[in-house]
Structure 1
């Protein structure tokens, strides 16, 4: 039976339709808004009692209380979410989901925040063992169905902790807007509607082989959720202490910022603004480690917390022979300060006076730090120096010279016809991560005119087997169309034979491959009948989170240690190494155990919590 992922892939992707991520909120650590290229800004909708926010039962730990980070905060929410469904005459269906999702790499806690764009199509009951074509507002794709007519494609772009601008590169955007959208929102997630804004049209359609030729089905009805932003947020750019002042820098598209006062140290201070940049020089009467900037134009007011830099660089110049550095610290006791270029120490500043360091080549930036004050990096400004000498012109490339053989004549490829071959391998043992091609290097073999590479082990596939650098791949383990768990993956060594030949003469060498599976960690595993079923975790290969092709996860569950395993879902591993299987709606049964199998060889069995 062919795999449901055999030729599944995106065939048309729209150009990135998002333009900018807003300032990060100090309340929950996510951007306050995202802006698309049509000028529409959307912000988080985090009100549990607001049906337009689209939360499902169980999303908010205590729905009777206001959302608060991190104690009562959803594990995921959507800046934008749209979906459509096609019901087939046979009773099957195709479901389209697209969105800009906020989530956490592992747990709901600071430092785990990620935002990514998603395109997902799941089809059930289509024409079996066929290629089905889909078009949607942001592009087109194909899915190869299995024997039941099932298949799926999930394309998540740029889940990376704290790097919220990576989501701008995804396929989602500009944001769709429903014709029946309530004021201030992109749509009502409970009421399907026609939409506008899709760069590839505003219809979800599928074409599949039928008994009388291709047949096409489509819908223009979408559910949409997303709240149009009214707040602008604020970014805290820097706060630098020097003497009796702290210089505070911030930016926003709003117009009314202030530095929140600290009792007994400094009063609330209005910031001056120009072209989105804001600045205030705050007189202080004590030590300050952090300042808060508040945007009073937002409702509720947004804030940014800025740690105060303990070191300020006054000079970093190079005149062609001497690097000069001067810096001040918030406290005289912080001296001496250390001047570094990367990890290399250049010298020591005993006080605030300029220090000089003769050198032939200056660094592009220097970092000044101390044991008690935070370091700060500054660019080196070139103020003088002679022009560097011109380089020597390389000689012209000569003609190709034919091989010279001794004895003559030369055989095929410049090898003497009567020479004995010798097979040589760069390494006799190799680690072979599952589903990751590994090259066997036989390029130092001598007197060979032909090569072959063979194995009797069915766990591996060999390509380029007639070259001196063949490629060996340990075949994938679990597949998304598996109906039941597989026996445990074998990591027993694999023997591969490499042969070099010249006419009738041959020479062979063997290499031992040790299959390496991925490392799986479970971060969430719970089951509550009719309420929630979720198994989530991470998968890394040799310590790497982003592996191509993506690792596929298959999850099974059972109600007791003697019950049969039931397949509950599949998931690809995203670029941050995370995966999540969360069937919705949750089944009306409580499972007690889960089993996770991966395409890269891992099997993990554990208990579900209630």
Structure 2
């Protein structure tokens, strides 16, 4: 295996993650353009274990339940006869090979620059040179030397092929998909493709950000390949008390491809010599140490919330686990053996009704036969829902309205706060806030938090400037009749016309942007020099002198 740092950017492999994770960087040298993998790839790895004293995950598990330890064993191959004066044939691939019996592993002073949870190599000898295929889940270091915070892991697919005359389009089929390389010119390593998905070292700081090892889940690897003798069942290799999926020192048949393509095949012009357009090998060298300790049952606590009503407190718990797991919730006031309902696909839900108080903490425990139970604790929080977030460009007023699922009053009342703008005036979990924004610029969104832990964020709706005019204003003394008309930029807005503090009447801006108010027998009587004002429901204002007839 070559150092990952020697690679430059290539192309990322699209993948779908079984549970969750994030995409890492992709590194490699691509001298021939590769189309996207077909059929589509699925990252059928499950989550890695928590870190160990080395800072790496102890294991990665595939979607079929097989977990592989970070292979750091000094076990010797039972298939290779030792030769005095030569390095031993180890069952684990490490670089440099530090794990000699007289040179034991220690962190970080005697630790390999590269190690593997899983590795599979295949090679084909060609008239013009050769071809190499690598699939691996690899442990390495950002600066190629064992150091705290520099740990990285990634899923690697590497394809290197020497191409004969005249070149052309070549199709490479392997256990984890198909790559098509178009218009490849002849030459040594004319196909030179590497994709490393999931590289993510820690980030120095105070405190530092630790490495994240979920990125490898986005690669194309999974399920793990295993050695087979009959092409149907895995043939694990025991060495002492340890168990291995294969021997990296010898060629062997494998099974485990999600597509049934347990081979390395190249198709293209003259790839195997003049007129030989297909070459293939079914033999791989694979490395991986089986993790034999009980695994923790996977568990993700998606949400724990509560609502308060006149009859008490209802707690809702959402969780994700293995489809075959059982998930139990416990806490103060929760009846024993309260299990969440399962949809059979790994999603779980349960509601505990009419509790006297919010159970803090609430513990959620997932169990699966043969695995160790996993427990997570949390405090349920209320559900906050922002029902209105508006900014009026005319008045520079921000209006926020929100609800809490906790409708308690008095000592049980929650406080809702618009972050950066202040508390909402609230009663029984329903609150509102109207606040001027000094800058005159609207926020893109507002966040409302609750004193009970709930939070919601909502984009702000912008109410545009409302421009209104009064084009005519008259008062007819006979009949005490007002006639006032004008324009408005927002059809549908309400226009209220006033004389001082006295309201004359209201009307609506029509679809054409015009409005008109006519009031007979009005009790509002103007004097000489009177001026009327018009105010829009969105805040627009205008004034005009009154003509008295």
TM-score scaled by length of structure 2? 0.46
TM-score scaled by length of structure 1? 0.42
Greater Rg, structure 1 or structure 2?
2
